[in-house]
Structure 1
Amino acid sequence: YFYFRTISSIQGPEVNINGRRFIMLGSNNYLGLTEDQRVKEAAIKAIKKYGTGCAGSRLLNGTIDLHEDLEAQIAEFFKKEASIVFATGMQTNLGCIQALVTQDCVAILDKFDHASIIDGCRLASGCFKRYPHNDMQSLERLLQCEPEKPKLIIVDGVFSMEGDLTNLPGIVDLSKQYGVRIMLDDAHGIGVMGKNGRGTAEHFGLEEETDIIMGTFSKSLATIGGFIAAKREVIEYVKHVGRALLFSASLAPPLAAAASMAFKIIKTEPERRKKLWDNAHFWAEGLKTLGFDTGYSTTPIVPVIIGNTDKTFEMCRYLEENGVFVSPVVPPAVPPGRALLRTSVMATHTQKQLERALEAFAQAGRKAGII
């Protein structure tokens, strides 16, 4: 069984599981900041000053100056007027989408969007429609329906299972043509994509055209939590209508402090991002050279597409025997016949670790009859 495995160490390039050491290729710790001493010290300092929690919701007694400082930092980083932070990324999408997709509104989603987006739409009073993955013609047909209704396109920046990018230029062109807004869930793009790590919108040069940027702290930002950044009027509205914010305890002080420090490091240490991309290119090219199908990934998330579910678990077992941790992803999380091993690299992986993992993949692939 390859789920709910118990790790007893820091989530670094290598982890301890049941007394064994594994090369970790299943983590979202892209920049390696969960083990950064500055991030840990910021969290410890916050605990000493504020305690371990805020004991209330943001609306009532749960807002502290750390939250507001972090929100100002986020707004400045993403060049937006304001931002609001939530306790988790899941709550961010639930609260924001529930607030914005009102009864007369239509949300339009990519079929590969994250489950939190779909669940947010289910909570909203408006309706939602989905188009085939990155299919701009199908998106346009949906935009043409019910022209009297306001619409919000909600899309992942980096798709979390296969590591490919949304067609943001195409979406922006259609949004201008049909007068609709864009919400970009860039959980896996922040800290990774763009010259300054501002994500997918920066990568494409479309930051101004992206109305709402949503992100999480649980990937490059080394902790847990979420946020949206947008125009001030949007943020004020969500603050007072988003139920997942109003009726939940606020982000704990050490988490807010850790995220703030991680943002500072992302801004001042671009070499981390360069090392991440060096590792991503080395890893992807190594897998392709061995003969594996890595799909359309252009990010540090590199899928190894197996197709058959049983073969996917067989590969995972062989890799586990050889000390490599990967995540098997099978239907319904992916379409039928698209079962895969989700791999992802970190800035802190060494080339030697990646070479060892490639050797394990080569052996496992041959045993399973994949290559």
Structure 2
Amino acid sequence: MAAILDQFLDQNLTELKEQGLYNEIDPVQGANGPIIQVNGQSLINLSSNNYLGLATNDELKKIAQTTIERYGVGAGAVRTINGTLDLHVKLEEKLAEFKGTEAAISYQSGFNCNMAAISAVMDKNDAILSDQLNHASIIDGCRLSKAKIIPFLHSDMEDLRKKAKEAKESGQYNKIMVITDGVFSMDGDIAKLPEIVEIAKEFDLITYVDDAHGSGVTGKGKGTVKHFGLEKEIDFQIGTLSKAIGVVGGYVAGKQKLIDWLKVRSRPFLFSTALPPGDVAAITAAIQMLIDSTELHDKLWENGDYLKAGLKKLGFDIGASETPITPCIIGDEKLTQTFSKRLFEEGVYAKSIVFPTVPKGTGRVRNMPTAAHTKEMLDEAIATYEKVGKELGVIS
């Protein structure tokens, strides 16, 4: 290793550990369900994005297995050569039906969607109005486009209107886009889409919603755009297939001409091998489940409300979440890390979230109840929170 690299790594890794910002990775031994095994210990799992429990669904596993027998384990090529299987076409038709749009395009990950879609439409002559708490993939997608990035205060519609007006009246930009998460993953609050659409109409803004944590969760499962009835008003609907859907990948849904453009200009679509066939078949079946029934969605919300009520009653600061995402805001980074470790020792896996994922001084343990949790599991988790919270002086 080069001496300068060795010095850089030693210094910066040491600093992260001293500040309580170094993240330890815990390999899960087996399936990522409501109960997981880590280092041989059985733990109640409150850190998974597997909102509906579909990642371990028996029917989806069988569908994936059967599909692999027929199609193999990989697509074999990028989509534009001969990696587009009939399965991919069916998936994208189902996604468009699910999101209420003319068409959809699938990608290898939700992160890829934002890297692909933003830079395929926006360039150095454009501007992007971006919520300050947008996901890292949005930030990176905006940077890649080379457009002027204009952040606005989180869900502050006065600030958005002010900056949209300034950008429009400056005459500097060919196109202006407004980008927001649908559900903000660290706090669980929902974007003010009706107000955003109103401002977009006033200033002719392109509208872009990343609903990674909303699809399967809000709008009776169909997402935050559907929650507000704005399917005809949002230009880009972005989603992931790895959270509530339970598999892997991402998608963009919108007008047919938008999807046509992304198929010829979005680089991850052009230069990365297509989603594997077993995954594609499982995703398509999972989406059909959400179209056919709200049972899993309803159970998710029931469990989320139950956990929130229990933690709030104990005196924990759970922020202003409007979704099942339940943060317990501790503040100090080192205390947050210690809190998470003590939960682990007592049988609850709830990962600490600190800077740079959240602003400094707002460290939290983020809880993700799912449709697969039982009331008994949640009761045990709440009791563990009470014990650790009192022990560390977080609650009295």
TM-score range (shorter-chain normalised) is over 0.9
The answer to whether the Cα contact below 8 Å between 1:87 and 1:252 also exists between their aligned partners in 2 is no
Question: What is the correspondence of 1:246-265 to structure 2 with a 5 Å cutoff?
Answer: 246-265=270-289
Counterpart of 1:316 in structure 2 is 340
The question of 1:152 aligning with 2:182 is answered: no
Counterpart of 1:285 in structure 2 is 309
The answer to whether the Cα contact below 8 Å between 2:184 and 2:191 also exists between their aligned partners in 1 is yes
CA shift, 1:332, in A, is 1.8
C-alpha separation between the residues in 1 aligned to 2:356 and 2:40? 32
Aligned equivalent of 1:176, options 201, 204, 209:
201
CA offset digits 1:181-240 (Å, max 9, x no partner): 211100110111013x11111112222211211001010111000000000111111111
The question of 1:215 aligning with 2:239 is answered: yes
C-alpha separation between the residues in 2 aligned to 1:293 and 1:19? 31
CA shift, 1:176, in A, is 1.2
Question: What is the correspondence of 1:324-339 to structure 2 with a 5 Å cutoff?
Answer: 324-339=348-363
Counterpart of 1:128 in structure 2 is 149
CA shift, 1:18, in A, is 1.0
CA shift, 1:174, in A, is 0.6
CA shift, 1:2, in A, is 5.5
* One-letter identity of the residue aligned with 1:128: I
Counterpart of 2:83 in structure 1 is 62
The answer to whether the Cα contact below 8 Å between 2:183 and 2:224 also exists between their aligned partners in 1 is yes
Q: Give the % identical residues.
A: 39
CA shift, 1:102, in A, is 2.1
Bigger-Rg structure (1/2)? 2
The question of 1:275 aligning with 2:296 is answered: no
Counterpart of 1:77 in structure 2 is 98
Counterpart of 2:3 in structure 1 is none
For residue 33 of structure 2, give the secondary structure of its aligned residue in structure 1: coil
Alignment gaps of 5+ in structure 2: 1-21
C-alpha separation between the residues in 1 aligned to 2:229 and 2:333? 39
Counterpart of 1:365 in structure 2 is 389
Counterpart of 1:162 in structure 2 is 187
CA offset digits 1:280-312 (Å, max 9, x no partner): 000001010000000010111100000111110
CA shift, 1:269, in A, is 2.4
* One-letter identity of the residue aligned with 2:369: V
Aligned equivalent of 2:139, options 118, 125, 149:
118
CA shift, 1:48, in A, is 0.8
* One-letter identity of the residue aligned with 2:114: N
Aligned equivalent of 2:127, options 106, 110, 114:
106
C-alpha separation between the residues in 1 aligned to 2:67 and 2:151? 42
The answer to whether the Cα contact below 8 Å between 1:186 and 1:213 also exists between their aligned partners in 2 is yes
For residue 146 of structure 1, give the secondary structure of its aligned residue in structure 2: helix
Aligned equivalent of 1:50, options 68, 71, 93:
71
The question of 1:186 aligning with 2:207 is answered: no
The answer to whether the Cα contact below 8 Å between 2:101 and 2:231 also exists between their aligned partners in 1 is no
The answer to whether the Cα contact below 8 Å between 2:350 and 2:366 also exists between their aligned partners in 1 is yes
The answer to whether the Cα contact below 8 Å between 2:77 and 2:273 also exists between their aligned partners in 1 is yes
Counterpart of 1:15 in structure 2 is 36
C-alpha separation between the residues in 2 aligned to 1:59 and 1:53? 15
CA offset digits 1:329-359 (Å, max 9, x no partner): 1112111211111111000100000000000
What TM-score do you get using the length of structure 1 for normalisation? 0.98
* One-letter identity of the residue aligned with 2:304: A
* One-letter identity of the residue aligned with 2:191: T
CA offset digits 1:62-96 (Å, max 9, x no partner): 11110011001111111111110001111111011
* One-letter identity of the residue aligned with 1:141: K
Aligned equivalent of 2:380, options 349, 356, 364:
356
Counterpart of 1:237 in structure 2 is 261
The answer to whether the Cα contact below 8 Å between 1:58 and 1:246 also exists between their aligned partners in 2 is yes
The answer to whether the Cα contact below 8 Å between 1:186 and 1:199 also exists between their aligned partners in 2 is yes
Q: How large is the RMSD of aligned CA atoms in angstroms?
A: 1.1
The answer to whether the Cα contact below 8 Å between 1:194 and 1:202 also exists between their aligned partners in 2 is yes
CA offset digits 1:102-130 (Å, max 9, x no partner): 23221111111110111111111322211
Further displaced range: 215-224 or 266-275 = 266-275
The answer to whether the Cα contact below 8 Å between 2:181 and 2:211 also exists between their aligned partners in 1 is yes
CA offset digits 1:122-167 (Å, max 9, x no partner): 1113222111111111111221123232211111001011111111
Counterpart of 1:31 in structure 2 is 52
Counterpart of 2:252 in structure 1 is 228
* One-letter identity of the residue aligned with 1:105: D
The answer to whether the Cα contact below 8 Å between 2:193 and 2:228 also exists between their aligned partners in 1 is yes
Q: How many residue pairs get matched?
A: 370
Counterpart of 1:343 in structure 2 is 367
* One-letter identity of the residue aligned with 1:186: D
* One-letter identity of the residue aligned with 2:209: L
C-alpha separation between the residues in 2 aligned to 1:122 and 1:4? 28
What TM-score do you get using the length of structure 2 for normalisation? 0.91
